[in-house]
Amino acid sequence: MFEDQPVRGELDGHVENMLDLLNDYDISLSEGTPEDSRNQLSVMTNLSTAEPEDVATVEDVEIPGPEDGQDPIPGRVYAPAGDGHPTVTYFHGGGFVAGDIETHDPLCRMLANRAEAVVVSVEYRKAPEAPWPKPIKDAYAGAQWAQRNADEWGADTGTHVVAGDSAGGNLAAVVSLMAAERGMPDIDRQVLLYPATTYMDPMLSRAENGEGFFLTAQDMLWFVTHYIEDEIDAHHPWAFPLNARRDRLAETPPAFVLTCGYDPLRDEGHAYAEELAEAGVDVEYSNHESMIHGFLNMEAIVDHTYDGVEEVAEQIRKA
């Protein structure tokens, strides 16, 4: 179904401006401690995102954790006016180490408004303090909570989308696998935005885009060494979903997979879309040839961000 390998187009001029800005501020996600990485991503977010849009209701919530004695999982609900909206459980990116509700607040607001959806943003635990499988346990608990409770904010919990970007795209895919195996929660669509789907497989995009386009090959290695404590775990399908057997993939919901031409994760997103399609899953795939990883969080600099967000919102509405 997706025989053509995705390619790079001409790098978008606004993206070039974004890269120049990141160089001016010496943004690096992997040259210090995990806390340094988190601070760097927050600085980048402040540089690249516009004034957050107003949403009818924005409310912080506490989601019960899946483990005894665990602190509640922070969440944030974004709800348009009215009711009957689809439910979206959203998982932020950040390499399983960085990122939080705040870094992805502008994006979740845009999705809530454009998709007319109740978006539940889940701040799962992060590595290295909470390595695999703790983040996926939190993500799964967040999806269950959203389906049970989002009707309090006007959601139709009978229509449920899981979505996420980068590491969050990984979690959305894994939660879809877990839900198919366990029979709950019901998920109608998985929306995977430049997802991390495999461990260390050599791919053209990792070599082609591994330096100079924001997310680097060094960043990816640094993140995964914090997330995965035992290398054998990296081959579990709930760590990286491209490990899953096709009969397991066949049970997952329809999918939308988005990649970027200048992203080291491009080819593994494409490969996962292919595997889903080969397993018989209804898949739509979109490669933004002129974009870099994370462009959906760059609306203050990159005009094309709004086109991407609208495309994602349309995919949510399809559920």
The yes-or-no verdict on residue 1 having pLDDT over 60 is no
Question: What is the count of structural domains for the chain?
Answer: 1
CB burial of 63-79 (b: ≥16 within 10 Å; e: otherwise) equals bebbeeeeeebbbbbbb
Determine phi and psi for 237, rounding to 5 degrees: -65, -20
The yes-or-no verdict on residue 262 having pLDDT over 80 is yes
Give yes or no: 263 in active site.
yes
The full 3-state SS of 127-145, as one line of letters, equals: CCCCCCCHHHHHHHHHHHH
Give yes or no: 201 in active site.
no
Q: Which of 85, 270, 288, 293 is catalytic?
A: 293
Domain hosting residue 176, numbered range: 13-317
Say which CATH number the domain at 266 has.
3.40.50.1820
Q: Which of 105, 138, 165, 263 is catalytic?
A: 263
> What is the rounded distance in angstroms from the CA atom of residue 113 to the CA atom of residue 111?
5
Q: Does any domain span residue 2?
A: no
The yes-or-no verdict on residue 7 having pLDDT over 70 is yes
Q: Which of 37, 48, 121, 166 is catalytic?
A: 166
Q: Does any domain span residue 172?
A: yes
Q: Does any domain span residue 5?
A: no
Contact 276, 228 (CB under 8 A): no
Q: What average pLDDT is seen over the chain?
A: 97
pTM for this model (two decimals): 0.98
Beta bridge partners of 160: 87
Give yes or no: 293 in active site.
yes
pLDDT tens digits for 93-110?
A: 999 999 999 999 999 999
Any idea which residue has 């739509």 for tokens? 284
